[in-house]
Amino acid sequence: MTEHSMFSRLEDFISLARKGEDIGLTITLNKQILTRKFEPYTVGEAEDEVDTYIFAADYFFLFEGKTYEVTKLYAFGIEGEPLDITKRNIAVADERLKMDYRRLREARIAFEEKLWHDQLWGRF
């Protein structure tokens, strides 16, 4: 079970680790599909729907015997978009994720690195 508290950002755990606290970390990458209806007075007809995707990472930090979950969004797009755009979004999400990995490693938080490229590329 995860705890909800004042620890809601990666930076909260990076700061704790820099102060010498022992922080455990497991990361899960996911692609969430959301269906959005267009609202009146926006682009598209009110009854139109569009499937969008979001590349998100769920960070599960273990601190003082409790697990804290932090979710961070890295990129989004539209289902069915041209393949080159989807691949570009995967690359952008991976580069943003690598920046966070670098910050976590610099704080001496151990974790297994995962990238969307490795998980999704075989689907294209």
Whether residue 123 is contained in a domain is answered as no
Domain count, the chain: 1
pLDDT tens by residue, 69-80: 999 999 999 998
Q: H-helix or E-strand containing 49?
A: strand 49-63
The mean pLDDT value for 13-39 works out to 90
Which domain range does residue 90 map to?
2-110
Beta strand 66-78 pairing with 2-3: parallel
Whether residue 36 is contained in a domain is answered as yes
Whether residue 60 is contained in a domain is answered as yes
pLDDT tens by residue, 38-70: 555 555 555 678 889 999 999 999 999 999 999
Whether residue 122 is contained in a domain is answered as no
Cα–Cα dist 62/68, whole Å = 6
Whether residue 119 is contained in a domain is answered as no
Whether residue 121 is contained in a domain is answered as no
Whether residue 117 is contained in a domain is answered as no
Q: Say which residue the tokens 């015997």 belong to.
A: 65
